[in-house]
Amino acid sequence: MHPPRLPKGGKKNMPNATTRPKRTRRHRRTQREDAARNELVSRSLESAQQCLFSQDYGTAFVHYLLALNIAPALRDFANESFRFTLFKWADELDSLGRIQDLFDCYEQAMELFPVDEVIVNSMGEHLFRMGFRDEAAGHFYKALKLRPDFPEAKENFYRVANWLVERWHFLMLNDHGRNHKYQLAIKKAVEGGCSSVLDIGTGTGILGMCAKMAGAAEVYACELSKTMYELACEVLSANGMADSIKIVHMKSLDMEIPKDIPNRVSLVVTETVDAGLFGEGIIESLIHAWKHLLLPPPNFREPLSSPSQTGRVIPAGATVFGVAVQCHEIRRHHRLCVSSLGGLDLSVLGQIYSPVSCFADTEDSTEPYTTERLSRLRGGYIQLTQPFTALDIDFNNVQELEGLCSRELMQIRLCVTRGGILDALAVWFQLHLDQDNHLSTGPQEDTCWEQAIYPVQTPFNTVKCGDEILVEVSCKDSYLRLCCIAIVRDGHTFKMDNATKGPSKILNANPETELCSALAGLQTTQEKPDRAFMLESSEIALLNNTAYHNSFQKAMSKLLVSLKSTRRSQESDPIYVLDVSEGFSVLSLMAAQLDSDSSEDKQNSSRLVQAYSSVEKEHHQTMLRLLAKENGVLESALEFWLSHVEDDSAVLQRPSIEKLWSVIILDCIETCGLIRQKLLEKATLARCLLEDGGQIFPERIVIHGMLVESDTLLLESAVQGREPTLGFNIAPFINQFTVPVHMFLDLSTLECTHLSEPIELFALDLMNNTANYTDKEVKVQVSTSGKVTAIPFWYQIHLDSEQSVSTYSEDSHWKQAAVVLQQPLVVSRGEWVRLSIRLHKSSISITAVKQE
C-alpha cells in the first residue's frame, strides 16, 4: 500500500499567499520572514513525503510536526498524511518496545489535532494494549463524543465502557428501595442537626444531593474515579447544585482541612462497600475520616455536646452473615474436577488452584473472594449449614474500626446440617443506615447485590451431617477473609491443608474414605507430587470442559489420519500443528499425544506431528512440559511458538521458510461471550499459511440467538423510566455510558421470558472468507406474546463437518452475551420479527422490527 500523497502545489495554499501587505519597513521584514517560513514549511513537507516513500516514518513524522507547528493553517490539508505517518511510526515504536516515545508522539499529535477522533481512538487502542484500560476507555469515549457514529471508536468503547462506569451504578440507581432508605436516613440526620455533610465516593452525586435537599448548610463530596467525578459535576450542574455542593476529584484518604474542606463535618455519608463489605476500603476511609474530617462522636469527652458539634456516619454499622454451600458451578471454576482430558492424564499436575484464595500469605495475585449472585448460579446451590453471623461492626466507633485489623482471628464453629461437598462459604451483609433503615445484600432478598464467595480449595471437602466446620474470620489488608481451617468429626479435628501451600497429603479416589482414614490417624495414603499450579478460574473451567476437549480429540484424530495417509514416505514433512489460543490451552499437546499413541515405536521416525503452542506464561509452559513428559510425548514434539517468533504481534507466520501449517487452532470466542477481536483477520492470515488439505479449527462458527423479555437486563444497562431518580436529574448523564451488548451472562439462569425459539443469526466460515457477509436479515416467529427487550446470543463452534460444541452447553466455560434493544418491541404470538444483524470487525449489532 502506498502512503497517501499530499495534494500538488501545496505552496499555493500557504496562508496569506494572496493577501497584499502594506509596504512598510516593518512589513518588508515580516514579508521576508514569511517567505523564509513558507520555504521551511514547504521543504519540511516535501522531506516528509520523501521519507514516507522510503518508509522512514520516524523522520517523516518529525518533518510533519515541524511544518504543521509553524503553519497551523495547513493542518486540515495534511491531516491524512500526518495520521498515516503517525500510525506507521507508532507501530514501529510499539514493536521496538519504545513505549514512552510512542506516547510522546501521540501527545504531540493530539496537541496538533486535538479534535481528531481517529488519532484519539488510535491512542486509546495503544493504551488498551499496554493494559491502561481506564485511560484507553477515556480516549474511546472522547473519540465517540467527537464523532458519535465512528464505528471503530464505538466498538472499542462498548468493550471497555464497563471499566469507566461499572454496570452496578445502573443497578443501584434503579434500586428504588435502596435509594429511598438512604434518602430517609440522610433526611433524618440532617433534620436532627447534622448541618455539614461529606459524601465519600459520591459516584453520580446522589447522596450529596439528598443531603442538600434535606437542608444541609454545607455539602462536600469526593470521588476518586475521574470519569465518575466528571459525571457527578455534570449531574450537579444539571440539578442546579454546582455552586452549593463542593466536589473534589480525590480519594477521601488524601483530603485535608482546610485545603479541601474548610472544617470538620458533622455527617459522613458513604456507600463505598462491595459485595464483601470492606473491599472498597471503607474501614481505612472511616478511620481517616474520624481522625481528620469528622467532628468527634457524641459522648466523646463532652457528654452534653450539641448534635451539631458531634459527628456520625451513615451507615452506622453492618452485620456480616455467611453460610457454607455445595455448588457445582463454583466448584468447576475453582478446582480441577477431571483426572484426564482428551486422552491426557492430568493427575500429574498435582494441585490446581484459582487465584481466589482466603489465605493471606499467598501471592499478590490472589484475591480473597469472588462475587456471584447465588440465586443466578446455574444448577443452584445447597446450604450445608445454617446461616451464621460472621461479624458485627460499628462504623461510629473508631476504636472498633482500628481494632478490626489488629484483632485476633475469630474462630466460628459451624454445624453441618446437611452432608455434601463443601465448595464455598458465601457471605452477605446488612447495612444499618441508622436505627430504622437497613439494607440487606442477602441471597434471598429482592436485591441487585451479589454475594461474596470464598471457594474452598482444599483437596478434600466432603462433609457429613453432624460434622463441624471451623471457620476463621479475619480482616487483613482491608479485606474480610473467611477461611475453612478444619473439620471436626466425632470429636477429632482434621485440619484442612492449604492448597496453595504446596504438597498435600492425599488423595484416595473417595475423599470421604480419605477423611475417615486420616481421622483414624491412618495417614498412609500416597504422597502426591509436590506441585501446585495457579490457573484463572475461566482456565480451570476450560479444563473441566470435557465435551469440548473430546470433540477436539475426535476432529483432530480424523484429520491426522487423513493427513498421514497422504504422507507415505518416511522423509516427508511433519504435520505442523499450531495452537494460537489465548491463555492456557492443552490442544496442541493433545495433537502431539494422539500421534504418539498411534506410533507403535515411539523412538521411530513414524512420529509425524510437530506441535506448537503459543502459551506465553512460564507456569503454563511448565504445565504443558510436565503433561507432555508424563503422557509419553517426546520433548521435541511440543514447542513453544513464541520463542520462535521475533515479534509477538506476528504469531501467525509460516512454521519455517518453505513450510506451511497443517493445522491452525484459533480460539474464536472470549469467555465473556463475544467474538475475539481480529478473528476474521486472523482466519484470513491462517488460510494463507495452511498447506493443501490443512485445516483451521474450528472451521465455522454459527451464532444463535432468540427473542426474550428481560427486565433484569434492562436494569443492568440503563437507568430506567422517565421519573427522576429521587427527584434528581441523573439518568441522561449516566445513560451515556449505556452499551448495547451485555457480556458474562448465564443465560440458563437469567430471569427472562423466551419469546421465540432459538434461531440461527449469522455464520462465519473461517476456512472460506468469500462465504462471509457482514449484514444479514433473518425472520423469527414470536412464540409467546410480550415485549422483546433483548436478544441473547451464543455460538455453535463447528470444529469440522461432524464435531461441534455449543458455548451454551452445561459445562461450557464460556458465558453468553446479549444485545439489548434501544426500544422494546411489543409482539404477539404468531407475529414475525425481522432482525437485521451486522458484524463489524468482531462486534455484533442487531436491530429488530415487526414484519408487517
| Least Å from the CB of residue 712 to ligand 44T | 12
Q: Which residue is nearest to ligand 44T (CB)?
A: 201
| Least Å from the CB of residue 205 to ligand 44T | 10
Q: Is 744 in the site for ligand 44T (CB under 6 A)?
A: no
Q: Are strands 344-345 and 340-341 parallel, antiparallel or unpaired?
A: antiparallel
Q: How far is residue 389's CA from residue 319's CA, in Å, rounded to a whole number?
A: 7
* Integer-rounded Cα radius of gyration of the chain: 31
* Interaction mask 111-150, ligand 44T, x per CB under 6 A: ----------------------------------------
Q: Which of residues 377-396 bind ligand 44T (CB under 6 A)?
A: none
Q: Is 448 in the site for ligand 44T (CB under 6 A)?
A: yes
Q: Is 163 in the site for ligand 44T (CB under 6 A)?
A: no
CB 351: neighbour CB atoms within 10 A?
Answer: 25
| Least Å from the CB of residue 165 to ligand 44T | 9
Give the residue, chosen from 224, 277, 349, 731, that forms a contact with ligand 44T under the rule CB under 6 A. 224
Q: How far is residue 309's CA from residue 291's CA, in Å, rounded to a whole number?
A: 15
* Cβ distance to ligand 44T smaller for residue 165 or 637: 165
* Cβ distance to ligand 44T smaller for residue 103 or 449: 449
* Cβ distance to ligand 44T smaller for residue 433 or 448: 448
| Least Å from the CB of residue 224 to ligand 44T | 4
Q: How far is residue 282's CA from residue 743's CA, in Å, rounded to a whole number?
A: 29
| Least Å from the CB of residue 754 to ligand 44T | 25
Binding span for ligand 44T by CB under 6 A among 67-75, 166-174, 349-357, 492-500? 166-174
* Interaction mask 244-283, ligand 44T, x per CB under 6 A: -------xxx-----------------xx-xx----xx--
* Cβ distance to ligand 44T smaller for residue 201 or 698: 201
* Cβ distance to ligand 44T smaller for residue 342 or 368: 368
Q: Is 172 in the site for ligand 44T (CB under 6 A)?
A: yes
Give the residue, chosen from 68, 137, 228, 377, that forms a contact with ligand 44T under the rule CB under 6 A. 228
CA angle 344, 671, 162 (to 5 degrees): 155
CA 428 to chain centre: 23
Give the residue, chosen from 77, 87, 132, 168, that forms a contact with ligand 44T under the rule CB under 6 A. 168
Per-residue DSSP letters for 707-739? -EE-HHHHHHHS--SSS-BTTB--HHHHGGG--
Choose among 20, 13, 55, 21: nearest CA to 38: 13
Helix-helix angle 99-112:117-129, to 10 degrees: 160
Q: How far is residue 317's CA from residue 514's CA, in Å, rounded to a whole number?
A: 43
Is residue 307 classed as helix, strand or coil in its secondary structure?
helix
* Cβ distance to ligand 44T smaller for residue 200 or 575: 200
Give the residue, chosen from 171, 819, 825, 846, that forms a contact with ligand 44T under the rule CB under 6 A. 171
| Least Å from the CB of residue 284 to ligand 44T | 8
Q: How far is residue 43's CA from residue 36's CA, in Å, rounded to a whole number?
A: 10
| Least Å from the CB of residue 222 to ligand 44T | 5
Q: Is 449 in the site for ligand 44T (CB under 6 A)?
A: yes
CA angle 304, 305, 309 (to 5 degrees): 165
| Least Å from the CB of residue 683 to ligand 44T | 36
CB 28: neighbour CB atoms within 10 A?
Answer: 12
* Interaction mask 281-310, ligand 44T, x per CB under 6 A: x---x-------------------------
| Least Å from the CB of residue 151 to ligand 44T | 30
Cell 483437596 sits at which residue? 459
Per-residue DSSP letters for 774-804? SEEEEEEE-SS-EEEEEEEEEEEEESSSS-E
Q: How far is residue 461's CA from residue 423's CA, in Å, rounded to a whole number?
A: 7
Q: Is 223 in the site for ligand 44T (CB under 6 A)?
A: yes
Binding span for ligand 44T by CB under 6 A among 48-56, 167-175, 399-407, 620-628? 167-175
* Cβ distance to ligand 44T smaller for residue 431 or 592: 431
The reply to whether omega before 258 is within 30° of 0 (cis) is yes
Give the residue, chosen from 44, 156, 225, 796, that forms a contact with ligand 44T under the rule CB under 6 A. 225
Q: Is 730 in the site for ligand 44T (CB under 6 A)?
A: no
* Cβ distance to ligand 44T smaller for residue 200 or 821: 200
* Cβ distance to ligand 44T smaller for residue 702 or 714: 714
* Cβ distance to ligand 44T smaller for residue 280 or 497: 280
| Least Å from the CB of residue 275 to ligand 44T | 6
* Cβ distance to ligand 44T smaller for residue 71 or 200: 200
Per-residue DSSP letters for 149-174? T-HHHHHHHHHHHHHHS-THHHHHHH
* Cβ distance to ligand 44T smaller for residue 177 or 240: 177
| Least Å from the CB of residue 294 to ligand 44T | 14
Choose among 91, 14, 2: nearest CA to 45: 14
Binding span for ligand 44T by CB under 6 A among 197-205, 546-554, 766-774, 798-806? 197-205
Site size toward ligand 44T, by CB under 6 A: 24
| Least Å from the CB of residue 264 to ligand 44T | 17
| Least Å from the CB of residue 171 to ligand 44T | 4
Q: How far is residue 139's CA from residue 133's CA, in Å, rounded to a whole number?
A: 10
Q: Is 222 in the site for ligand 44T (CB under 6 A)?
A: yes
| Least Å from the CB of residue 538 to ligand 44T | 18
Give the residue, chosen from 138, 203, 673, 694, that forms a contact with ligand 44T under the rule CB under 6 A. 203
* Cβ distance to ligand 44T smaller for residue 404 or 689: 404
Contact 321, 429 (CB under 8 A): yes
Q: How far is residue 241's CA from residue 728's CA, in Å, rounded to a whole number?
A: 11
* Interaction mask 703-722, ligand 44T, x per CB under 6 A: --------------------
Give the residue, chosen from 155, 199, 218, 450, that forms a contact with ligand 44T under the rule CB under 6 A. 450
The x, y and z cell numbers of residue 67, run together, are: 511544518
Q: Which of residues 343-382 bind ligand 44T (CB under 6 A)?
A: none
Residue 32 burial by Cβ neighbours in a 10 Å radius (0-12, 13-18, 19+): exposed
Binding span for ligand 44T by CB under 6 A among 168-176, 554-562, 647-655, 765-773? 168-176
Q: How far is residue 695's CA from residue 697's CA, in Å, rounded to a whole number?
A: 6
| Least Å from the CB of residue 283 to ligand 44T | 11
Question: Which residues are CB-contacts of 788 (< 8 A; sequence separation ≥ 6)?
Answer: 707, 708, 709, 755, 821, 824, 825, 826, 827, 833, 848
> Which residues on neighbouring strands pair with residue 709, listed in sequence order?
753
Question: Distances from the Cα of 149 to the Cαs of 87, 231, 290, 428, 458, in angstroms?
Answer: 22, 22, 48, 42, 52
Sign of CA dihedral 608, 613, 618, 621: negative
Q: How far is residue 76's CA from residue 702's CA, in Å, rounded to a whole number?
A: 44
Q: How far is residue 353's CA from residue 540's CA, in Å, rounded to a whole number?
A: 8
Instruction: Report the helix count and the strand count for the chain, using DSSP H and E.
Output: 22, 38
Q: Is 667 in the site for ligand 44T (CB under 6 A)?
A: no
Contact 578, 623 (CB under 8 A): no
Q: How far is residue 542's CA from residue 556's CA, in Å, rounded to a whole number?
A: 18
Q: Which of residues 750-769 bind ligand 44T (CB under 6 A)?
A: none
Binding site for ligand 44T (CB under 6 A): 168, 171-172, 200-201, 203, 222-225, 228, 251-253, 271-272, 274-275, 280-281, 285, 448-450
